[in-house]
Structure 1
Amino acid sequence: MRHRLKDGKSGRHRDPGTVGVHMDPTQAGSLVYEALSAIFTPALPEAHRIVPDGGQEVAARFFDVRRQRPLSEPVRLGEAVRAVVHGRPKDIQRIVPGIQAHFAVDDKGFRDLGHGEQDHELVIGPKRSTEKPQPGPE
Structure 2
Amino acid sequence: MNLLRVKLMTSIAKDVRAYMLQIPLPKFPPIIIALIPNKGNENSKTISQLHKKLIQEITPQLGIHILSISSDGAITEFQAQQSIIDIQTPQRLSIHELSLNIHFSCPIFDNIGPIVWVQDLKHAKKTARNAIFSGAWLLTFGTSSV
Structure richer in helix, relative to its length: 2
Answer yes or no: same fold by TM over 0.5.
no
Which structure has the larger Rg?
Answer: 2
TM-score, length-normalised on structure 1?
A: 0.29
